[in-house]
Every structure is written in C-alpha cells, then in structure tokens.
Structure 1
Amino acid sequence: MSPTESDTGLRTLKKQRTRQTIAATAIALFLDRGFDQVSVAEIAAAAEVSKPTLFRYFASKEELVLHRFEDHLGEAGRVVRDRAAGLTALDALERHHLDRLAARDPNTGLTDDPEVLAFLRLVHETPSLSAHLFDYLAADTRALAAALGPDGDVAARLVAAQYTAVHRALARSTLTRLVEGQDVADVARTAAEETVQAFALLRGGAGAYGF
C-alpha cells in the first residue's frame, strides 16, 4: 500500500469512528433523557465535535437515530430479486420475515436485548422519529415495487405498499407485546403465527396478479 493509499484509509477510518461516536453519544443521551429533551448542541459537546461537524455527518437530529435502519433499505426488493426459481415473491418475503424472527432481528420488532428494545421504543414512541421513519419506508416500498414489476406498474406498487404496511403492523404488534412485559419466547411464537396469517391475507388479493 502506498503512503497516499494509507493516508486515505486512515482518514476514512477516522471519519467512520467519528460518525459512530456522534451517533452512539446521541442515542445514549436520547435514551437517558428523551429525544425532545436533548439539543444538537448538547450532543456535539458530549461527542467533542462542533455543530457544523455533526451536521456534516448527519443531516438532521432524527437521522442520528434513524441511520440505524439504513442497512435494511431495499431489503425486501433484494429478497424478491434474489429468490429461488419457482418461489413467488410473497413466498420469499414470508420466508425471509420468519427467518428474521428466528434470528431476533430488531427490524421485526422482536428482540431479547433490553437496550435494543429501549431503542425501538424511542423510535416508535417519539412522534418526530416515527414520522421520519416513513421516509425510509417509502424508499423501501419504491425499491420493492421496482423488483416486483416494471416502472409504473400499478399492481406492483399496490402490492409493495401492502407489504410495507403489513411489515410495519407485524413489527408494532410484536414490539407492543414485548413492552407489555410478555415472555420473549411467547411473543416469538405469536409473531410467527401472525406472519403466516398476514401473508395468507396478502395472497388473497395479490395472488390474482401472480405475486
């Protein structure tokens, strides 16, 4: 590796660490005091960066939290595009959701980690965060629609929107049970049952279009 390549790698690593530090600091403050009770200035000071530096890494206060969902953007579309031959789109999405439940993926609303549960509650119980989450969901819905059919296909757009709504409803139902203190294993079983029921309902309408 040349000196120039080494310097570039170090700068990239430093930026990644700075971004992680800012985000971790912000989320810790939000969980301790509440999202609306913490200012951007306080986050910057705690992370030992300036406000302009913070905004170079995160465009908004909400993004300090919601960036954690970035890894899931386009996930449903990828599942559909990469599905095995002979498997319908809805079959692939159902299998994927059941697999993620088994893995305790927080994106399904299911977790046995108290810190992750607190994070999910923060997102869903803070109005501004919950509202901004719809931007991520909208992007995910568009990606799924593109995987389901050609651009402008109304059936693909409708099925994608229905899937997004079902996924969100399932996650909220699961998260609500956990917040109420129900046993994680019991919640997991119920979540799996509700997933099968939800996709059966989806197939009742979407199946007519070959999805």
Structure 2
Amino acid sequence: MDDGTVGLRERKKRRTRKKIADTAIGLFLAHGYEPVSLAQIAEVAEVSRRALFAYFPSKEDLVLERVADHESEHAQVVRGRPPEVPPLAALRDHFLDGLDRRDPVTGLCDRPETLALYRMIRDTPALATGLLRYHARSEAALAEALAEAAGAAAGDGPDGAFTARLAASQITAVQRVLANDNNAHLVAGTSADERHPAAVAAARHAFTLLRDGLGGVFG
C-alpha cells in the first residue's frame, strides 16, 4: 500500500470524525445535551453506532474532543520554545497570542456557538467532570515538559519533578482563571474586542505574579 492510499484513508477518517462531532454539537446546542441520543447522532451523521463508538468512546467525548485537541498544547509550547526563552515566558507569549487570535481556550471568543458550548459544558455535570479530567491530563503533560526543561538547564535534582508539578499546577490554574474571567465578561455582554485590552493586562499581571511570586503583594 503506497503512502498516497494511507494519506487518503487518514484524511477520510478525519473528515468522518469531524462530521460526527459537528453533528453532535449541533444537535446538543439545538435540543440540549441530555435529550439527544447516540442513535440520533449516528442517524443524522449517517454512520453506524459502531462507527460512532470507534471515534468517540463516550457521549461526553463528542463534546470534549474540541477541548482535548489542546490537551498537550502547553507541553508542546515548552518543548518547542527557542533555548534562550524561559518556559514561563513562552507560555505567557502563547497565551497573549491566543487572546489576539480570540482562541476559545483563552475565554476570549464571542462566537455564539462557542459561548453556547461553554455554557453547556458548565451546566452539564458529566461534561464539567470530564473537563476536570482534561485539565488534570493537561497539567500532568505540562509538568513533564517543565521537568525536562529544568533538567536540561540545571541537571536533574531530587526535587525537580516535584517543583515541576507545583509550577504546572500554578500555571494551569492561572490560565484557567484568566479564561473563566474573560468568558464571564463575554457572557455579561462585553464583546471580545472590548474585553481584549483588559484581558491582555490581566494576563500580563498574572504571569508577572507567577514569575516573581506573591511576596510583593501578600508577603
């Protein structure tokens, strides 16, 4: 089998996966998460239930796969940064770039579908719990990348992995607070463009606190 055939098959799988996910999201937003069945999604997407489960093992995955696409993003930012750029600076710049691009992960995306999707995840216990699992996996991946970066910079110390876990938990928590604050302003009626300057200022302040610590504020 040549590479062209393999590439065609992979593209077809990606299209099918996207069609199923887009169909499910559309049905959920139109009718609510709980009332829509997997059988209904399969019928509208024109796939068998077996095919649906092959792409998405659970109903929650149909929604959270859009979030899961970003699961290793922070770890990739740390690993892919130029050697002279500290990991925290790379993560800050990546978040600021996300604000400029109105990346939904930053909470600064006011497309109606995105706002509705965030509201559905927040208001559906199964989805909210699934989102917590995603955050935990993302944090663990970032901790691993930070441990690698610390080891490359100064050699592996006995507390290197623990320090990396502490740093990862603080960084992910800060970014989550920033995103939630942005989303709250958009839900209240502020546009993404109106919120952007304050979102940038908040992000810069937050990452400065991460870099310098809280001693100057609460010490």
Which TM-score tier does this pair reach, normalised by the shorter chain? 0.7 to 0.9
Label 1:149 to 1:37 Cα distance change in 2 as closer, same or farther (>3 A): same
Look up the match of 1:193: 201
> 2:213 matched to which residue of 1?
205
For these two proteins, the number of residue pairs brought into alignment is 205
Taking structure 2 as the reference length, the TM-score comes to 0.84
Q: CA deviation at 1:127?
A: 2.1
Q: 1:94 aligns with which of 92, 95, 98?
A: 92
Displacement of 1:7 in angstroms is 4.9
Deviation digits for residues 163-208 of structure 1 (CA, Å, limit 9, x no counterpart): 111111111111111011113222111211111121122223399x
Task: Supply the AA of the counterpart residue of 1:98.
Answer: L
Aligned-residue RMSD, C-alpha: 2.2
In 2, are the aligned partners of 1:178 and 1:184 still within 8 Å (CA)?
yes
Deviation at 1:5, TM superposition (A): 5.4
**Other-structure match for 2:186:** 178
1:37 equivalent in alignment to 2:35: yes
> For 1:22, which of 20, 23, 46 is the aligned residue?
20
100, 106, 109: which one pairs with 1:111?
A: 109
- Asked if the contact 2:110/2:191 (under 8 Å) is kept, the reply is no
Among all aligned residue pairs of Structure 1 and Structure 2, give the percentage whose two residues are the same amino acid.
Answer: 48
Name which of structure 1's ranges 12-21 and 132-141 shifts more when overlaid on structure 2.
12-21
Structure 1: gaps spanning 5 or more residues: none
TM-score w.r.t. the length of structure 1 is: 0.87
In structure 2, what residue type is equivalent to 1:166? Answer: V
- Paired position in structure 2 for 1:147: 145
Residue 9 of structure 1: CA displacement? 4.3
What's the counterpart of residue 160 of structure 1? Answer: 168
CA contact (8 A) 1:159 1:206 kept: no
* 1:146-165 Cα distance to aligned partner (Å, 9 max, x none): 11115961111011011111
Equivalent pair of 2:102/2:192 in contact (CA under 8 Å): no
Residues 81-100 of structure 1: CA distance to partner in whole angstroms, max 9, x if unpaired?
Answer: 22234332212211111111
Once residues 131 and 83 of structure 2 are traced to their aligned partners in structure 1, the CA distance between those partners, rounded to angstroms, is: 33
* Whole-angstrom CA distance in 2 between matches of 1:78 and 1:49: 34
Q: Residues 206 and 158 of structure 1: is their aligned pair in 2 closer, same or farther, counting only changes over 3 Å? A: farther
Q: 1:109, 1:120 within 8 Å by CA — same for their partners in 2?
A: no
Separation in 2 of the partners of 1:38 and 1:138?
A: 28
Does the C-alpha gap of structure 1 residues 201 and 24 become closer, same or farther in structure 2, counting only changes over 3 Å? same
Structure 1 residues 8 and 99: CA distance shift in structure 2, 3 A: closer
Change (3 A) 1:94 1:9: closer
- 1:117 deviation in Å? 2.3
2:55 is the counterpart of 1:57:
yes
